[in-house]
Structure formats: structure tokens, C-alpha cells
Amino acid sequence: MYQLLFFVFAGAAVGFAINLLLQRHPIHSALSLIGVMASLASLYLMLGAEFIAAAQIIVYAGAIMVLFVFVIMLLNAGEEERTQRSRFAKYLGLPLILLLVTSMAAVIYRQVPQDAMVRFGDFPGRTADIGRRLFLNYLLPFEVVSIVILVAIIGTVVLARKDSETEGPGKAVVSEK
């Protein structure tokens, strides 16, 4: 049963990811990415990481991807055009990627002990334990991350706000060239 669920969600994740690459319009890619994240959230549940699964849905799929979708809609980006793709990408691209993935998979498969199994139950800890460890051992990164968020907010306002005097592509300044 566990195996079946694993293959269903894993297959879904890979399927959505491949779809992300194959789609031409960014909105379809965004929706595929959301599919990947949902499948991953299910896999996290199967690994016993309830807090992370919830965070994945709420933060990643629910906030970050929504932001992506907003921007795609806002910019009204059209379909990807067929630009001149280099020969390198067309012919060497796929084989190189396959090579990369098979070598990584081979390394992992050989080195991980055969008896390391994942089963439902037997989980490392509960959400309360996460909280305790977070504030005991990882207090410093936690505080630093709040500065990161502040910086992100400053950044988005500084960069993306509407300037009252200058608006629109006509008023762009091209410094030389």
C-alpha cells in the first residue's frame, strides 16, 4: 500500500515537473509547479513530516506560487516564442541531462545501504520537537531569517513601486549603447 502511494505521488511529481519544461505558456508551467509541490507535500506526509507538509502547502504553494501567478498575469506574458535555439541545446541537451541524472542516481543507489527502508510510522519526532529544537539550537538563523524577510520587503517596495514621475517603457533611461 505504501509502495503504491509512493509511486503514485512520485510519478505525479515527475510528470508535473516534465510538464513544466514542456509547456510554452508560463502560466501552465506555474500550475504544473503547483502540482509538483502538492505531490511533494503528500510525500512529506508519508515521511512523517507533518509540519513541513503543511508549510509546503501554505507557504510554497499558497504564497510563493500565488505570487508567481500574479506576476505572470500582471505582465501578461505571452507564449514563449521559438527563438533560435543553439545546436548545443537541441542535440547535446537531452543526452547530457540523462547522463547527469543517471550518474547521480547510480551514485545514490550504490551508496545508500540496501536495508534503509522508509515505512509509515516510526517517525523521528513531532511538531513540538521541531519547535524546541528550532529555538534551542537554531535560534540565530531564525533571527537572521527575519532580517532576510525585512530585506525582501524593502527590496520589493524599492524596486517595484510606481514612481509618480516616471512610468512606462517610454520613459526608460538607457545609459549608453
Under the binding rule (CB under 8 A), the answer on residue 92 touching another protein is: no
CA angle 27, 29, 33 (to 5 degrees): 115
Nearest to 81 by CA among 29, 26, 123, 31: 26
By the 10 Å C-beta count (0-12 exposed, 13-18 middle, 19+ buried), 40 is classed as: buried
Looking up cell 541524472, which residue turns up?
A: 101
Under the binding rule (CB under 8 A), the answer on residue 105 touching another protein is: yes
In whole angstroms, the minimum distance from the beta carbon of 161 to another protein comes to 9
The interface with another protein within residues 130-169 (CB under 8 A) comprises 130, 133-141, 144-145, 147-160, 163, 166, 168-169
State how far the Cα of 14 lies from the Cα of 112, in Å rounded to an integer.
22
In whole angstroms, the minimum distance from the beta carbon of 94 to another protein comes to 9
Under the binding rule (CB under 8 A), the answer on residue 17 touching another protein is: yes
In whole angstroms, the minimum distance from the beta carbon of 97 to another protein comes to 5
CA angle 146, 56, 41 (to 5 degrees): 160
Under the binding rule (CB under 8 A), the answer on residue 95 touching another protein is: no
In whole angstroms, the minimum distance from the beta carbon of 151 to another protein comes to 5
State how far the Cα of 157 lies from the Cα of 80, in Å rounded to an integer.
28
Judged by CB under 8 A, which of 35, 54, 57, 68 binds another protein?
68
Under the binding rule (CB under 8 A), the answer on residue 100 touching another protein is: yes
**The three cell numbers locating residue 51:** 509540519
In whole angstroms, the minimum distance from the beta carbon of 154 to another protein comes to 5
Judged by CB under 8 A, which of 35, 38, 42, 49 binds another protein?
49
